[in-house]
């Protein structure tokens, strides 16, 4: 059977069990010095360590060995969707994350405000991480841009991030990013890979030409780059393939978008882990599966702040008792990818994973970290198989075959 979801459709069963998947974005790390400890191993995590003693541990490979994933593929793998089969542009995820209703003629684009010098070269790819109060009015200015034959929608997302949606007949989503991923060079031109996508690229070029004029006096946000240009794909729903009613508790729009893509209900919470736990407690009786997302481990890793990433992991550890008090049948703690502070970027390193259940083979580890997970009973597995393990430990899969 080539499709995991064909199998889960056949074997799924409902039994009232509860599954919580707690995703610390970019959880995996590296020691700063050979033989040292990673961020997770450095952090003081008494609650996760106690949980590790009665859990199965392992390392999750988000896509394939040696392949560095973006957040989209990383999360789709955790949700059990093969990231090589379901390739989703980040623009789509950002648009869904802010509740933009994407139609069949829409192309969604993730935008980043950036800073250009007098020569037109990028000096800051994130415009100094301007706050939302500064960025939102700029989006309103850009929303007035007109492109012949195409409707243009510009919406602010968070801080320096925005979404641009181009709506029109015959637009394609196979267009290269304009972010060169480095400073000291000019933004790239949008390039379409087929006839329909060339039409999109032309519309995007027209938009950018007008945007440069509109933003010329708004340094540090005096231009923007385009990323993740795509159309919304057809994808089976989470409930359809797993038979579970799922709720997502995520603060950042992109991760809400990932959850909405697979038709999870979005459960609004505040901005803190405490708020998210309160929402989890309030919704406990209404759902079978909960996806909880914590962003700041990834952000600190990308900033190269080893100690702050360790501190964010400690903040995560502090709320574990609130989750375990609900007595989930399965609690998974993992990440969508590794973001070592040493690299200041996503990496290909497998991700520490903990699966707590009364049906687990307890590894009796005294620490939740990369070293303990390397010898754990889950082994080194592909992330797309994690949902099978979650369902099995929750008693939600029938026997396969006679």
- What mean pLDDT, rounded, does the chain reach? 96
At residue 78, the pLDDT reads 98
Q: Number of folded domains in the chain?
A: 2
Out of 183, 210, 230, a domain closes at: 230
Out of 208, 230, 252, a domain closes at: 230
At residue 2, the pLDDT reads 54
What confidence tens digit (pLDDT) does each residue in 52-86 have? 999 999 999 999 999 999 999 999 999 999 999 99
Range(s) of the domain holding residue 293: 4-88+235-393
Residue 382, class by beta-carbon neighbours within 10 Å (0-12 exposed, 13-18 middle, 19+ buried)?
middle
Residues 28 and 140 in one domain: no
How many angstroms separate the Cα of 170 from the Cα of each of 145, 152, 194, 357?
20, 15, 11, 50
At residue 42, the pLDDT reads 98
Residue 83 resides in a domain: yes
Residues 125 and 17 in one domain: no
Distance of CA 310 to the CA centre of its chain: 20
pTM as predicted: 0.86
Which CATH number goes with the domain that contains 36? 3.40.720.10
At residue 87, the pLDDT reads 86
* pLDDT < 70: residue spans in the chain: 1-2
Out of 230, 253, 278, a domain closes at: 230
At residue 1, the pLDDT reads 39
Please measure the distance between the N-terminal and C-terminal CA atoms of the chain and give it in whole angstroms.
Answer: 16
From CA 109, how far away is CA 204, in angstroms rounded? 9
Pairing of strands 351-356, 55-61: antiparallel
């Amino acid at each position: 059977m080539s499709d995991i979801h064909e199998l889960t459709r056949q074997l799924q069963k409902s039994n009232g069990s509860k599954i919580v998947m707690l995703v610390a974005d970019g959880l995996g790390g590296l020691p700063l010095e050979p033989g040292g400890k990673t961020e997770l191993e450095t952090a003081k995590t008494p609650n996760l360590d106690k949980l590790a003693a009665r859990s199965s541990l392992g390392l999750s490979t988000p896509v394939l060995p040696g392949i560095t994933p973006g957040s989209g593929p990383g999360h789709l793998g955790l949700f059990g969707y093969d990231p090589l089969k379901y390739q989703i542009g980040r623009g789509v995820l950002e648009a869904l994350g802010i509740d933009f209703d994407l139609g069949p003629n829409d192309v969604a684009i993730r935008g980043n405000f950036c800073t250009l010098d007098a020569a037109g070269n990028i000096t800051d790819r994130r415009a100094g991480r301007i706050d939302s109060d500064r960025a939102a009015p700029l989006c309103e200015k850009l929303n007035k841009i007109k492109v012949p034959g195409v409707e243009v929608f510009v919406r602010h997302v968070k801080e320096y991030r925005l979404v641009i949606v181009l709506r029109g007949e015959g637009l394609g989503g196979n267009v290269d990013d304009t972010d060169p991923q480095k400073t000291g060079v000019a933004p790239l031109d949008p390039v379409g890979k087929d006839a329909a996508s060339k039409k999109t690229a032309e519309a995007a070029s027209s938009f950018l030409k007008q945007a440069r004029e509109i933003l010329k006096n708004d340094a540090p946000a005096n231009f923007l780059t385009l990323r993740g240009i795509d159309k919304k794909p057809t994808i089976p729903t989470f409930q359809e393939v797993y038979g579970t009613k799922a709720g997502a508790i995520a603060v950042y729009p992109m991760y809400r978008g990932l959850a909405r893509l697979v038709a999870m209900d979005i459960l609004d919470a505040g901005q803190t882990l405490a708020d998210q736990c309160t929402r989890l407690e309030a919704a406990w009786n209404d759902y079978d599966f909960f996806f909880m997302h914590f962003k700041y481990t990834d952000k600190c890793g990308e900033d190269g702040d080893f100690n702050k990433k360790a501190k964010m992991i400690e903040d995560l550890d502090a709320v574990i008792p609130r989750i375990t008090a609900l007595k989930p049948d399965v609690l998974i703690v993992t990440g969508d990818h590794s973001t070592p502070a040493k690299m200041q970027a996503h990496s290909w390193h497998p991700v520490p994973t903990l699966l707590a259940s009364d049906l687990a083979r307890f590894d009796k580890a005294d620490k939740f970290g990369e070293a303990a997970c390397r010898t754990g009973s889950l082994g080194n597995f592909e992330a797309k198989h994690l949902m099978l393990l979650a369902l099995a430990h929750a008693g939600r899969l029938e026997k396969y075959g006679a």
